[in-house]
Amino acid sequence: MAPRWKGRAAEAKALAEPLSKIVSRLQSSLVESNCQGLLSGCSVLLAADPEQTELFNHACFGRPIITSEKDKQWFQLSLEEALYLCSVMKCIKIVGDDKCVKDEEQLWHYMTSKRACFPILFKAYSHLRMKNWVVRAGSQYGVDFVAYRHHPALVHSEYAVLVLSDEEGDRSARLRVWSDFHCTLRLCGSVAKTLLVLHVSKNGNGAMSSSSLEHYCVEERIVTRWNPEQSRENQAIVQKKLCKS
């Protein structure tokens, strides 16, 4: 499925300002300001100056929170976004209620205690982010994430992403029966998205520490509906070409 750009100039604008460059500028700005986020339940709160606010919005990290402060904009980061900025991009630090900076292992234990499936979700999130996809929550479509080629203001999301693992109990039961496939594919088709299944294999490694992620493997599978009429038509075209030649 080809990208569905929002307007004639959207694609040109995206090409002129690649997402990788925007993320790199955000990374530099956060490092220079020694930015810190605050753990708050299942999210991380972070204050940004005007320049960082623009970069956060353009890079699509977090969601802005309306407050009375005029000189700062607060953002609410998901656990996946926060750990990615902290441990992968190395551009923010995260503190707890005690105002002490948490190291990666402390963050890992905190986040895995909040969500049992966090390890495979974070592996899938970072897998897509490192490929310069914008990754947002996909609960409104019944999936784990949705992936955009660039900023959502410029292009519609292309993929509805499901994260599966044979080692995650109930989560591995999804898409095991035909009715699950049928419902999910019909839903994706109705909103013009391609179903992308990311199968995360732990390769016998647990989730005791963040270093375990280095041994995880991600397999990408694109699932589409088979259209027999289209297949017959394509076959007829091929046969005609062969006859003419």
Residue 143: beta bridge partners? none
Average pLDDT over residues 194-216: 89
Tell which of 99, 115, 131 closes a domain: 115
Are residues 205 and 220 located together in one domain of the fold?
A: yes
pLDDT tens digits along 61-74? 999 998 888 889 99
Quick check: is 156 catalytic? yes
User: Is the Cβ–Cβ distance between 227 and 235 less than 8 Å?
Assistant: no
Are residues 61 and 122 located together in one domain of the fold?
A: no
Distance between start and end Cα atoms, the chain = 30
Quote the radius of gyration of the chain (alpha carbons, Å).
Answer: 21
> Which residue among 13, 93, 156, 199 is the active-site one?
156
Average pLDDT over residues 112-122: 93
Tell which of 115, 140, 163 closes a domain: 115
Are residues 56 and 134 located together in one domain of the fold?
A: no
Quick check: is 110 catalytic? no
The residue behind tokens 């009715």 is: 179
Are residues 99 and 130 located together in one domain of the fold?
A: no
Please report, for the domain that includes residue 168, its CATH number: 3.40.1350.10
| pLDDT band at residue 110 using 50, 70 and 90 as cut-offs | very high
Q: What is the DSSP letter of 96?
A: -
Q: What is the DSSP letter of 84?
A: I
Q: What is the DSSP letter of 1?
A: -
Sequence-ordered list of residues with C-beta below 8 angstroms from that of 189, at least 6 positions apart, any chain: 225
> Which residue among 148, 150, 151, 202 is the active-site one?
148
Average pLDDT over residues 9-34: 96
User: Is the Cβ–Cβ distance between 215 and 203 less than 8 Å?
Assistant: yes
The residue behind tokens 């046969």 is: 239
pLDDT tens digits along 153-196? 999 999 999 999 877 655 656 777 878 878 888 888 889 999 99
Residue 7 domain flag: no
- Give dist(CA 126, CA 56) in Å, integer: 17
Are residues 36 and 84 located together in one domain of the fold?
A: yes
Are residues 131 and 168 located together in one domain of the fold?
A: yes
231 vs 58, higher pLDDT: 58
pLDDT of amino acid 245: 46
Quick check: is 193 catalytic? yes
Which of these, 29, 5, 11, lies nearest to 85 by C-alpha position? 29
DSSP per residue, 119-188: HHHHHHHHHHHTTT-EEEE-GGGTSSEEEESS-TTTB---EEEEEE-TTSGGGGGTT-SHHHHHHHHHHH
Least confident of 20-24, 97-101, 240-244: 240-244
Neighbours of 4 (CB within 10 A): 13
Tell which of 96, 115, 134 closes a domain: 115
Least confident of 94-103, 201-210, 215-224, 232-241: 232-241
Are residues 16 and 106 located together in one domain of the fold?
A: yes
Region of 90 (left: φ > 0; alpha: ψ -120 to 50; beta: rest) is left
Which of these, 107, 225, 215, 118, lies nearest to 163 by C-alpha position? 118
Residue 29 domain flag: yes
Domain that holds residue 195: 116-245
Please report, for the domain that includes residue 79, its CATH number: 3.40.1170.20
